[in-house]
Structure 1
Amino acid sequence: MAKRNLSRFNAFDIHTYASIDEFLAADVHEGISTISYKGLPLDLLNVNIGSRSTLIMFHSALSNNMQTLPVFSGQRLAERLNMNLLSISDPSLGMDESLRLTWFMGNRRQPLMEDLPHVLSHVVRSHHFSRPIFFGASGGGFAALLFSRTVENAITVVANPRIDLSQSPNPNLAPYLKHCFNAVGTTPAVRVMRDNMVMQLQADYAKGHVNDIVYLQNVKDAFFLTKNMRPFIDARRGSGTLWLLLDDYGVGHKPVPTEVLESVLRNVKVASSWVGSGPDELRLRKNPSVVDVDVWVDDLMSR
């Protein structure tokens, strides 16, 4: 089991709960909530400053220098943007200290995809009249898209998100399958992927979505562009609006620059709705087709 260290969060009050049911029955407190969840802790950081927008953060893969749990991303970002913050630490990382990314999909003890939406909604309701803005990058973007559909009136902002766990660049699922589901070997792994995981978000979004999405993608992140973003745009259906920003942030899986991300989130924060038109200065394109994307990519790559 991974090591826990809450001492670096001593600026926050810590509230403990014996179960998710106990948490849902209680008033939501500011600070850290640690919920005993079927034998492993589920940790949340809740900062409510009274903003009309709440940033709901899903972290990406842990860096090599991050050795203890929980992990709460987005604190500085929320402070700079003057937004409420709800940051979730993926409880499955506690199954083994070697795990760096588990996509917030749960484990053999914890059906997180079933239970986390109730937790998120409970906290969001406590932020009265505050619009939930889900955010994640890379693997955290996968989780943001996975859970944002479950919260009413949410908007989702993702940066270079993973969409398809079966496509390049192939994620190393073996540690997750082994430590979280005791699935070693082809047959057990296939069964877990079929019964306990979402492998292709584009298939879920092909069934329809109503939440608006702002999708930021590095045009020179070749595999994420062609094997993740492009199939998602081609497959998605529903009344929700997709706003896309493509740009050159360097070769490979390079992050969206902080100033770009903050500009997008700042505009999302002040806009009651982007259904009509998005801010011109962001160069976002509304509901692009795959053909539109291909033309845009060719233009950017030719510069």
Structure 2
Amino acid sequence: MNPEPIAAPDRGGISVPVVRVESADELVFNPQRGALRYSVPLDDRGSLDALMLNKGSRALVVVFHGAMLNGRHHLPRFEWLRTLDERAEYSCLFLSDPTLSVDSKLLLGWYLGWEGMELYPLLGEVITKAAQAAGAEQIVLVGSSGGGFAALQVAPHLPGTLAIAFNAQTALNRYHWKAQANYIRRVRPALEDRGKSRRKWLSALGSRVSAVQTYSGPVRNRALVVQNVRDEHHYAKHYLPFKDSVQGGPNAQRVRFEEYSAAPFHEPPSRGRFVETIDRGLTMLEDWTA
């Protein structure tokens, strides 16, 4: 018998009752209000862990996390849980990156998946099931840094949704080589054996590693891309190239860009900015679908 949802999760959500299913095809979210975790083996390499806060709201906010901190690599990771648990306006689905379950030393996986496991369409199906169980008519996908990249990449598999990306990578071959190499060597070593320049190893994965490429063709979702202008690497290497590409392409009316000024390094947005942007995003989604 599956456990009953609880009223509120603890810090990190680790003690929330867990529903274990045999496969993603068998995953069914409980329609009752409250908090439940779900553990889903995907294949013999990795698994999906999710935490659902079903508040019976009209909107569902789906949260993707960024990189783990070295020495604090504890899975599952449910980023922004404490912040969003307080919000009654929307149900929430927190997705821990299954890619990190492949290797305990991997700190960042962008929800890319592994050989034979394309996560973006699969996560789209999982999110659809969660929205149906919660009775949600609106879906917002949100994340910062690597989580923002994932939000941008999964949203095209969910027409009518909104992706909100804070200080996100938009093309992984422009990101720090150490993070690229760690993913390749721990998850996809066959790419390293291709004999090409290491800067081209990830190119074998096509649009999966480039939101610039994904949004170069028409998409049916919306996006709000938010960037700290003092985060120099992400502003110059990711935000501006993505903005230039989108504004000259078929999705110019579907993607909005916002800039702000904070500390001069790469950090998540403040709690206030994070929540306020989600609230505005839901209003935008209302206006777009009106």
TM-score using structure 2 length: 0.83
1:13-162 equivalence runs, <5 A: 13-23=17-27, 26-28=28-30, 30-39=35-44, 40-82=46-88, 83-108=90-115, 110-162=117-169
Instruction: Give the match for residue 208 of structure 2.
Output: 198
Residues 137 and 161, structure 1, Cα contact 8 Å, conserved in 2: yes
Instruction: Give the match for residue 4 of structure 2.
Output: none
Deviations 1:213-264 (A, max 9, x none): 2221111112211211111112122375323221210212233222222211
Query: What is the rounded CA distance, in whole Å, between the counterparts of 2:56 and 2:253 in structure 1?
Result: 27
Instruction: Give the match for residue 267 of structure 2.
Output: 254
Deviations 1:93-151 (A, max 9, x none): 11221100001010125332342221121112222133111101011100000001111
Q: Percent identity?
A: 21
Instruction: Give the match for residue 235 of structure 2.
Output: 225
Instruction: Give the match for residue 183 of structure 2.
Output: 176
Q: 1:27 to 1:97 in 2, by over 3 A?
A: closer
Q: 1:10 to 1:140 in 2, by over 3 A?
A: closer
How many Å apart are 1:196 and its aligned residue?
Answer: 7.0
Residues 210 and 240, structure 1, Cα contact 8 Å, conserved in 2: no
Instruction: Give the match for residue 278 of structure 2.
Output: 265
Deviations 1:2-28 (A, max 9, x none): xxxx996454221111111222xx454
Larger mean CA deviation between 182-191 and 205-214 belongs to: 182-191
Query: What is the rounded CA distance, in whole Å, between the counterparts of 1:259 and 1:153 in structure 2?
Result: 26
Aligned pairs, how many? 269
Instruction: Give the match for residue 216 of structure 1.
Output: 226
Residues 99 and 176, structure 1, Cα contact 8 Å, conserved in 2: yes
Residues 121 and 157, structure 2, Cα contact 8 Å, conserved in 1: no
Query: What is the rounded CA distance, in whole Å, between the counterparts of 1:8 and 1:258 in structure 2?
Result: 16
Q: Structure 1: which 5+ runs fail to align?
A: 1-5, 277-303
How many Å apart are 1:84 and its aligned residue?
Answer: 0.9
Residues 213 and 240, structure 1, Cα contact 8 Å, conserved in 2: no
TM-score using structure 1 length: 0.80
The Cα RMSD (Å) is 2.6
1:241 to 251, 254, 274: 254
Larger mean CA deviation between 239-248 and 37-46 belongs to: 239-248
Q: 1:243 to 1:97 in 2, by over 3 A?
A: same
Larger mean CA deviation between 9-18 and 52-61 belongs to: 9-18
1:263-302 equivalence runs, <5 A: 263-270=276-283, 272-275=285-288
Query: What is the rounded CA distance, in whole Å, between the counterparts of 2:65 and 2:187 in structure 1?
Result: 18
Q: 1:220 to 1:118 in 2, by over 3 A?
A: same
Residues 49 and 76, structure 2, Cα contact 8 Å, conserved in 1: yes
